[in-house]
């Protein structure tokens, strides 16, 4: 009722009645309607509702309110620390109606300036959402990375051995993990079980040569054991997915794999070594057979950070702080600022006057930080009809433009695809940002025809973003090779809203490696001189198309 702005006195009377019923020394359902009406603090109207609930297991007025409420808002009401008043602001003022969107808004600091919120409240909401997400047993890679590394080191110390390896989904750098797998050289035994209990894994049980347990947060953890002579073979079996390992083992049928390393086993097959990230049973073995495996990109290959936000829109740190961090701490050559455009009112988007003011600041900072370079970018909202958020005159003032969808996500695949393609065909679009808008474990991306979108990018010479935020990792790695085959460059962009957000490029690199990306196909693996040339070529293209 409070969520739908019902009369405050009516809301208070229901709340008080709930308190009264909870404190009664007897269950209310045992009473007749007449007796309910006599209970102090109820009255005829609320007594009738209670009686209706007892008789029919529902309240008509409540059912009507629920029908007027998006399912995501009802789910939001289950999150600890968020009451109806705050949800009303989130829903009506910020336009957020799912838990996934709320979580991402916390990451983008959108709640800080909202009425009744602040940094402390935002962080508390974020933590509570993370707990809720974690309860379903599936976890973002980035969220369990430290736990996995710590558990690996603790297990080595407890068992007094270095011969323990992380395998499975985690070693393949999968974006979502539902099982954390380890391989131990040794034998499962009662003594080993007792040592695992000392790690706090009380629910562990040994099944054959495997020890299985589940953490308090719901993460499945599995330890497998093997003999030293079988380590290479078991690392292959326990790392690759079923399709990869079955295909590889069929090639190896009859081969002696004792005391062979992973590298030596791949040599026996006549194939080059296949990096763990690629072992997904898609086409990596065929690529290996034809000697077409890519030399995968590394985090150290990145030369700059593009698509970042500052206090000019919804970031935590100033433009200078963001750029200086990339220069001095990350030792990068360039930085691309992409604060939100004017339609993103919820994120303090820049109108034309503020764009000009930011550009003046960038000019000053470029003199101060030289030879480090700040590029004038913008994350321009793709509007409903596929147009961008500024006039061509304003778009022409930027060094590069990231075009992204942030609103009106409920479209058919045909309409959503048309919308993206129109934006891609705009001569001022440099990079297509987070193409599907997905939020992993929180919100599915809007449906698009990936092939048509990638083909359009190839035709218009538009780069596609791999959004490195662990919640997004969008473009999905399963489409990277298709994009590369069409000659489309990809860019590993952090979408950072604070200085530490630039470190997310590590996760973007992990997922780019899964997709088979090399530094030759990556925009921000280019040197400063090379990327300046790319941006200048686009400006020439825009001038020719005027």
pLDDT average per 10 residues of sequence, the chain (546 residues): 90 89 83 91 91 93 92 86 88 89 88 85 86 76 94 91 96 95 88 75 75 84 94 96 94 93 94 96 94 96 97 92 97 98 90 97 98 97 95 95 90 95 97 94 86 98 97 96 97 95 97 97 98 92 76
For residue 500, what are the domain limits?
Answer: 299-544
Cis peptide before 371 (omega within 30 of 0): yes
Output the pLDDT for position 201.
66
Number of domains in the chain: 3
Same domain, 72 and 106: yes
Secondary structure percentages of the chain, helix, strand, coil, to 5: 50, 15, 35
Tell me whether residue 294 is in a domain: no
Please answer whether residues 309 and 497 qualify as being in contact, where contact means their C-beta atoms are separated by less than 8 angstroms.
yes
Strand partners, 230: none
* Shared domain check, 236 and 96: no
* Predicted confidence (pLDDT) per residue in 240-295, tens digit: 999 999 999 999 998 999 999 999 999 999 999 999 999 999 999 999 999 999 99
Residue 460 lies in a domain: yes
Domain boundary among 267, 289, 311: 289
Q: Give the list of residues 6+ apart from residue 181 with CB closer than 8 angstroms, or none.
A: 166, 167, 168, 169, 170, 171, 221, 222, 223, 224, 238
Q: Within a domain: residue 3? A: no
403 in any annotated domain: yes
507-533 burial: b if 16+ Cβ within 10 Å, else e? bbbbbbbbbbbbbebbbbbbebeebee
Residue at which a domain ends, from 119, 134, 149? 134
121 lies in the same domain as 251: no
49/171 same-domain check: no
pLDDT digits (tens, 9 = 90+) for 281-338: 999 999 999 999 999 999 999 999 999 999 999 888 999 999 999 999 999 999 999 9
Spatial separation of the C-alpha atoms in residues 269 and 533, rounded to whole Å: 43
Of the candidates 440, 541, 452, the one whose C-alpha atom is nearest the C-alpha of residue 142 is 440
Cα 337 to Cα 9, 101, 358, 468, distances in angstroms: 49, 23, 10, 15
Give the CATH number, domain containing residue 448. Answer: 3.20.20.140
| Domain boundary residue, one of 134, 158, 173 | 134
Residue 242 CB neighbour total at 10 angstroms: 9
Packing angle of the helix pair 262-269, 242-252 (nearest 10 deg): 60
CA dist 154 → 150, 171, 193, 335, 509 (Å) = 6, 18, 15, 38, 27
Is residue 395 situated within a structural domain? yes
The pLDDT of residue 138 is 86
State the CB neighbour count (10 A cutoff) for residue 52.
16
Q: Which are the contacts of 534, defined by CB distance < 8 A and separation ≥ 6?
A: 523, 526
Cβ contacts of 357 within 8 Å, gap of 6 or more: none
In-domain check, residue 388: yes
226 and 346 inside one domain: no
Q: Does one domain contain both 153 and 273? A: yes
353 lies in the same domain as 372: yes
CATH code where residue 240 lies: 3.30.460.10
Same domain, 85 and 156: no
Q: Count Cβ neighbours within 10 Å for each residue of 194-216 and write b for 16 or more, e otherwise.
A: eebeebebeebebeeeebbbebe
* 77 in the same domain as 156: no
pLDDT score at 274: 96
439 domain-assigned: yes
Determine, yes or no, domain membership for 1: no
CATH of the domain at 70: 1.10.150.20
430, 400 Cβ separation under 8 angstroms = yes
Q: Are residues 312 and 279 in the same domain?
A: no
Which DSSP symbol is given to 500? G
Tell whether 269 and 314 lie within a shared domain: no
269 and 312 co-located in one domain: no
Q: Confirm whether pTM is higher than 0.85.
A: no
The per-residue pLDDT for 232 is: 96
Strand 205-207 to strand 304-308: parallel, antiparallel, or no bridges (unpaired)?
Answer: unpaired
Taken as a whole, the chain contains a residue count of 546
């Amino acid at each position: 009722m409070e969520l739908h702005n019902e009369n405050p006195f009516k809301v208070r009377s229901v709340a008080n009645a709930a308190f009264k019923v909870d404190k009664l020394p007897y269950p209310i359902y045992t009473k007749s309607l007449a007796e309910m009406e006599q209970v102090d603090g109820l009255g005829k109207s609320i007594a009738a509702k209670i009686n209706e609930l007892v008789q029919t297991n529902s309240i008509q007025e409540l059912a009507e309110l629920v029908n007027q409420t998006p399912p995501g808002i009802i789910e939001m009401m289950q999150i600890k620390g968020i009451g109806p008043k705050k949800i009303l602001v989130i829903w009506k003022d910020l336009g957020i109606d799912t838990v996934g969107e709320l979580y991402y808004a916390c990451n983008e600091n959108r709640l800080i300036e909202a009425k009744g919120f602040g940094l402390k409240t935002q962080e508390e909401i974020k933590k509570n959402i993370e707990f809720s997400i974690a309860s379903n047993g599936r976890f973002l890679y980035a969220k369990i990375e430290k736990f996995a590394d710590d558990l690996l080191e603790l297990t080595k110390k407890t068992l007094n051995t270095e011969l323990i390896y992380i395998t499975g989904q985690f070693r393949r750098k999968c974006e979502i993990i539902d099982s954390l797998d380890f391989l131990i050289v040794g034998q499962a035994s009662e003594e080993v079980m007792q040592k695992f209990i000392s790690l706090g894994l009380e629910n562990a049980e040994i099944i054959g040569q495997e020890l299985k347990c589940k953490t308090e947060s719901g993460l499945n953890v599995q330890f497998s054991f093997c003999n030293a002579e079988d380590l290479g073979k078991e690392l292959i079996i326990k790392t690759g997915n079923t399709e990869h390992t079955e295909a590889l083992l069929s090639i190896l049928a009859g081969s002696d794999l004792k005391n062979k390393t992973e590298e030596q086993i791949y040599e026996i097959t006549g194939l080059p070594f296949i990096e763990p990230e690629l072992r997904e049973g898609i086409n990596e073995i065929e690529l290996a057979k034809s000697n077409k495996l890519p030399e995968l990109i590394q985090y150290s290959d990145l030369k700059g950070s593009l698509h970042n936000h500052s206090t000019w829109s919804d970031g935590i740190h100033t433009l200078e702080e963001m750029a200086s961090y990339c220069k001095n701490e990350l030792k990068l050559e360039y930085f691309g600022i992409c604060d939100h455009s004017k339609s993103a009112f919820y994120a303090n988007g820049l109108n034309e006057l503020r764009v000009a003011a930011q550009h003046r600041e960038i000019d000053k900072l470029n003199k101060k930080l030289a030879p480090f370079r700040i590029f004038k970018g913008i994350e321009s909202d793709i509007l409903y009809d596929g147009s961008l958020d500024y006039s061509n005159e304003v778009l022409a003032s930027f060094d590069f433009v990231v075009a992204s969808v942030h609103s009106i996500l409920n479209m058919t695949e045909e309409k959503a695809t048309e919308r993206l393609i129109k934006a891609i065909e705009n001569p001022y679009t440099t990079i297509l940002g987070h193409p599907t808008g997905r939020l992993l474990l929180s919100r599915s991306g809007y449906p698009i025809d990936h092939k048509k979108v990638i083909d359009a990018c190839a035709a218009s010479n538009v780069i596609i973003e791999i959004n490195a935020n662990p919640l997004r990792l969008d473009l999905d790695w399963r489409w990277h090779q298709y994009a590369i085959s069409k000659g489309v460059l990809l860019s590993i962009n952090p979408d950072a809203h604070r200085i530490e957000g630039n470190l997310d490029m590590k996760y973007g690199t992990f997922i780019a490696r899964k997709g088979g990306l090399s530094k030759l196909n990556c925009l921000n693996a280019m040197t400063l001189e090379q990327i300046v040339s790319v941006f200048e070529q686009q400006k020439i293209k825009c001038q020719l198309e005027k």
